[in-house]
Amino acid sequence: MLMHDVSEKAYPNDRMIRAVQMDNITKIYEETGTLANNQVNLVLHKGEILCLAGENGAGKTTLMKILYGMERPDTGSIAIYGRRVHINSPLEANRLGIGMVHQHVMLIDDFTVAQNVTLGKEPIIHAVAYDEKRAEQLVEDIILRHHFSIIANQLVSSLSIGQKQQVEIVKMLYRNVDILILDEPTAVLTEQEIRALFVTLRSLIEQGKSLILITHKLNEIKAISDRVAIMRQGRMIAEAKTDSVDEYEISRMMMGKNVGSNIHKPSPVLSGRREIFRVSNVSVIKRDSGNPLLNNISFSSYSGEILGFAGVGGNGLTELEGILTGMLSVSQGTLEYRDTDVTKADTRKLRAMGMAYVPGDRLHTGVALEATVGESLIIHARHRLSRIGFMQRKKLAQYYRTLSHKYAIQGSMHMLTRMLSGGNIQKLILAREIDQWRDLIIFSEPTWGLDSASSQFVYDQIWLLKEQGAAIVLISSNIDEILSLSDKIIVMHRGKIVARFNHSTNEVTKEKIGTYMLGLAHQGATDDD
Amino acid sequence: MMQTLGPILNSAVVIMTPLLLAATGGLFTELSGMLNIALEGLMLIGAFGAIVFTHYSGSMFIGILAGILCSMLLASLIATVSLYLKANVFITGLAANLLVSGLTVVLSFKLFGNKGVVSFVNIPQLPLLHLRWIEKIPVIGNLLMGHNGFVYFSWLLLLLCNFVLYRTPFGLRLQASGLHDQVLVSLGLRPAHYRFIAFLVSGFTCALSGAQLTLNLGAYVPNITAGKGWIALVVIFLGQKRPFGLLVAACIFGLADAFSNFAQGSWDIPADFILAIPYILTLVAIIGVSIYTKRKSRIG
């Protein structure tokens, strides 16, 4: 009984095989002196889905980068299927059967799916040539076997984010990995895409693969994982069977304290609302492509109201952000700001009129990474803080102290901005933009990549602004965020407005919005505004 | 008309060859994501090395090989400093150009006691290819025949380059390192590795490019490259970073240059102005192409 029967009945026993065992892993980043992993232990059994949970900066990604050979641990050991190994590069990890799908897709847009998948391990013909045909054949086989929705000879630039992620998974399957790490795979996906991803993950498990999912979304942990491992501040806090813990326990372990249910449904502010910004029939057309990036968009933003825009990446949200902030010029239509025509106005003029803007690309548009924290903070107010062209250092320091205190920005004003954590950079931008705000503020992906404490801070600030009567435009691919903040919701698909909801009067669900985001449904010409 | 067109076409082909060769190598570094401004210096050291060693060895073949060696050595120096010691590639390239322009003068003075033009009377002449039956074809015959080996080699090299860049794993990875090098890193491959090879390739082709200049002339003129390395960079951009684009772009410059040589002798226009035509064309072409690409990608 013990000897031969290892085929199908062995499945329950498989769970006892340790695919990965990491012992006492410690990693210190010397540049910043942070202790990213502090004597961490982790076990992954064969055939299971393990969720590695924790706040941002808890050390999850570092631990997985160590397993994938991208970082070297300072101490500790790793065993794969019981055999002790040193993993010095992703290439070696691949050889050991370990693969990783990164949070930001690592793909070359100008290459085809097959080229991206086979890169680094290309099939060869005539001794030296790249065998494009065979590459496409091999990739197509994997795609068919796993029912992915991509085509091998498609250009990656034409794919949605969900499909790009499929390419990443195919890339790993092509390398015959059987231990797959996915770093926050659902961060940029819609509800439907997430469900499709989960089906894929399940089918991978059935084929005998073992998976580690990095995530901090509680519902996903419950929905997909067999076991959960929770990290906090570089330490492994707990490992448990997912069935044996509930979401509150997980979140308590992740954060060290219970999260209050701070997300409240917004109350409509109706009295004395004024139209602040009006967009009429705006289109943005790229010259050499037929499809407009924005197609005949009309809406208004009112004071004391949060107007949420939901959509999947590549469906016009970026362009919307661009036209609202004067970074992108419109092809047709008009923009009005407090009854002034600002169709041709640039960012400088809009900001002078009182628009504030918290950009989605906070590292490039939001701050200058090589500037000091002080410089990043005062850049909009430099005229106020200078006399005959010279900065007044005292005034500047005073200004910095006030703002950094008010918004709890850590670090000193002479530090380089890039040394700050993502959460602190966002606080810095918020501080500056709220200081700049007069009646209109535009937020794009305000909590993207932030942990829940920082996100909560951002939400609090947004509510505060709303109470003060700001007209707020919130552009976000995070449906939860849109649902919990917005008074009105507009859903975009392929550059068009496909749905409008009045959140304060109508029942809106995540699924409903997701359906529109994916273009599976379209509201008629009437809207319930 | 035919009498003037024939020679102009013929000399255009000769003039475009150094540009095409340098641009072919430069295409490798460009696609790998490095701005290689050292093409000029690499050409110059190749030009100097080739003729000096031809002079001493008496063999053109050994001379060219030695020129290639010099240029590739310099290329690997640039690559090492900028890729592994992480110096700014623009500064390194600039340094290489300055180094070579000084070094050739010093060596020329040391070896031949002359900082000016050194002519070598004893070295063999570049053999020219003549095939009667092709030469009989009007216009094209003039275009294709009567050139030295470098010309034909440059065409062959272009075909080879097209194959390597688009039909081999190496080409794929080279492009990947230029488009998004982190992808390679995530796969455990080293972008610096492909960039290094790209620099070596540019050293190789630039040496040939320079060798043609000096060996064709049978003399070494200080700064004989005269900005051709820079124009080769322009050729790369003008050719939209495609091998056959390079051919077209190099052709345009070759024609402009050949025309200005012709016009100098025949028309009553100040020679300085005529000699400036290729450079003016460079400027116009760059502005034109950048407007074109901007239009193409512009929104709204």
Could you tell me if B186 lies within 8 Å of chain A, comparing CB atoms?
A: yes
| Chain A residue at shortest CA distance from B166 | A130
Q: How many whole angstroms separate alpha carbon A306 and alpha carbon A297?
A: 18
Q: Which of the four pLDDT bands, split at 50, 70 and 90, describes residue A270?
A: low
pLDDT of residue A524: 60
Residue A6 has pLDDT above 60, yes or no: no
Residue B209 has pLDDT above 80, yes or no: yes
Residues of A with CB under 8 A from a CB of B: 69-70, 89-94, 100, 102, 106-111, 115-116, 119-120, 122, 124, 128-130, 284-288, 293, 319, 328-331
Residue B146 has pLDDT above 90, yes or no: no
Could you tell me if B1 lies within 8 Å of chain A, comparing CB atoms?
A: no
pLDDT of residue B296: 65
- Residues for chain A: how many in total? 529
Q: Which of the four pLDDT bands, split at 50, 70 and 90, describes residue A11?
A: very low
pLDDT of residue B297: 59
Residue A65, helix vs strand vs coil: helix
CB atoms within 10 A of CB A9: 9
pLDDT of residue B21: 96
Strand A83-85 to A75-80 pairing: antiparallel
Which of A172-176, A474-478, B32-36, B83-87 is predicted with the least confidence, judged by mean pLDDT?
Answer: A474-478
| Chain B residue at shortest CA distance from A89 | B188
What are the Cα distances from residue A139, in Å, to A144, A181, B68, B153, B257?
9, 20, 42, 38, 50
Average pLDDT over residues A209-233: 88
Q: How many whole angstroms separate alpha carbon B7 and alpha carbon A282?
A: 58
Residue B197 has pLDDT above 50, yes or no: yes
What the block records as the tokens of A393 is 């250092």
Taken in order of first residue, the domains within chain A and their CATH numbers are 14-255 (3.40.50.300), 261-354+438-529 (3.40.50.300), 368-436 (no CATH)
Q: How many whole angstroms separate alpha carbon B69 and alpha carbon B185?
A: 31
pLDDT of residue A288: 57
Tokens 């994916």: give the residue. Answer: A518
- Interface contacts A/B by beta carbons within 8 Å: 82
Give me the sign of the Cα torsion angle A105, A110, A114, A119.
Answer: negative
DSSP string, B46-114: HHHHHHHHHHHHS-HHHHHHHHHHHHHHHHHHHHIIIIIS---HHHHHHHHHHHHHHHHHHHHHHHHS-
Average pLDDT over residues A119-131: 90
Mean pLDDT over each residue of chain B, to the nearest integer: 88
pLDDT of residue A25: 93
Structural contact between residues A53 and A229, judged by C-beta atoms closer than 8 angstroms? yes
What is the share, in percent, of chain A residues with pLDDT greater than 70?
90
What the block records as the tokens of A310 is 């939901």
Chain B positions in Cβ-Cβ contact with residue A329 (cut-off 8 Å): 299-300
pLDDT of residue A33: 65
Mean pLDDT over each residue of chain A, to the nearest integer: 84
Q: How many whole angstroms separate alpha carbon A172 and alpha carbon A181?
A: 10
DSSP string, A104-167: S----TTSBHHHHHHTTS--EETTTEE-HHHHHHHHHHHHHHTT-S--TTSBGGGS-HHHHHHH
- Residues for chain B: how many in total? 300
Average pLDDT over residues A488-515: 83
Burial class (CB in 10 A: 0-12, 13-18, 19+), A288: exposed
Average pLDDT over residues B200-224: 93
Contact criterion met (CB < 8 Å) for B188 and A93 = yes
Q: Which of the four pLDDT bands, split at 50, 70 and 90, describes residue A422?
A: confident
Residue A502 has pLDDT above 60, yes or no: yes
Residue A202, helix vs strand vs coil: helix
Chain A positions in Cβ-Cβ contact with residue B168 (cut-off 8 Å): 128-130
What are the Cα distances from residue A495, in Å, to A318, A319, A359?
10, 9, 19
Could you tell me if B189 lies within 8 Å of chain A, comparing CB atoms?
A: yes
DSSP state letter for A59: S
Q: How many whole angstroms separate alpha carbon A152 and alpha carbon A140?
A: 5
**pLDDT (tens digit per residue) in A160-177:** 888 898 999 999 999 989
pLDDT of residue B259: 82
State whether ipTM is beyond 0.90: no
Q: What is the largest CA-CA distance in chain A?
A: 90
Q: Which of B175, B187, B190, B296 to mutate to test the interface with A (most CBs of A within 10 A)?
A: B187
Q: Which of the four pLDDT bands, split at 50, 70 and 90, describes residue A220?
A: confident
Which of A357-361, A377-381, B73-77, B133-137 is predicted with the least confidence, judged by mean pLDDT?
Answer: B133-137
What is the share, in percent, of chain A residues with pLDDT greater than 90?
33
The residue among A166, A168, A179, A242 whose CA lies nearest residue A208 is: A179
Q: Which of the four pLDDT bands, split at 50, 70 and 90, describes residue A309?
A: very high
Average pLDDT over residues B267-286: 78
Chain A positions in Cβ-Cβ contact with residue B300 (cut-off 8 Å): 284-286, 328-331
Residue A10 has pLDDT above 60, yes or no: no
Going from N- to C-terminal start, the domains of chain B cover 2-226
Q: What's the number of CA atoms in the CB half-sphere (13 Å) around residue B19?
A: 33
- Helical segments of B168-300, H only: 169-179, 181-186, 191-217, 228-238, 243-266, 271-275, 277-297
Structural contact between residues B67 and B42, judged by C-beta atoms closer than 8 angstroms? no
Q: Which of A67, A70, A108 to mutate to test the interface with B (most CBs of B within 10 A)?
A: A108
Residue A403 has pLDDT above 90, yes or no: no
Q: Which of A72, A106, A332, A343 to mutate to test the interface with B (most CBs of B within 10 A)?
A: A106
The H or E element containing residue A29 is: strand A18-29
Q: How many whole angstroms separate alpha carbon B246 and alpha carbon B254?
A: 12
Could you tell me if B265 lies within 8 Å of chain A, comparing CB atoms?
A: no
Could you tell me if B163 lies within 8 Å of chain A, comparing CB atoms?
A: yes
Residue A23 has pLDDT above 70, yes or no: yes
Backbone angles phi, psi at A495, to 5 degrees: 80, 0
Structural contact between residues A107 and A168, judged by C-beta atoms closer than 8 angstroms? yes
pLDDT of residue A31: 65
What are the Cα distances from residue A222, in Å, to A50, A184, A249?
11, 15, 12
Residue A181 has pLDDT above 90, yes or no: yes
Backbone angles phi, psi at A524, to 5 degrees: -70, -170
CB atoms within 10 A of CB A147: 11
Question: CA angle A29-A35-A36, nearest 5°?
Answer: 80
Chain B positions in Cβ-Cβ contact with residue A293 (cut-off 8 Å): 299
Q: Long-range contacts: A10-14, Cβ < 8 Å, 24+?
A: A11/A47, A14/A45, A14/A46, A14/A47, A14/A208
**pLDDT (tens digit per residue) in A39-67:** 999 999 999 999 998 876 788 888 999 99
Average pLDDT over residues A81-99: 91
Contact criterion met (CB < 8 Å) for A109 and B298 = no
Q: Smallest CA–CA separation between A328 and chain B, in Å?
A: 8
**pLDDT (tens digit per residue) in A338-393:** 989 999 889 989 988 989 999 988 888 888 888 888 888 888 777 777 777 777 88
What the block records as the tokens of A521 is 């449904």
- Selecting from A106, A288, A328 the residue whose C-beta is nearest the C-beta of B186 gives A106
**pLDDT (tens digit per residue) in B223-247:** 898 889 999 999 998 888 999 999 9
- Selecting from B175, B179, B296 the residue whose C-beta is nearest the C-beta of A287 gives B296
Average pLDDT over residues A267-292: 76
Average pLDDT over residues B122-151: 78
pLDDT of residue A256: 66
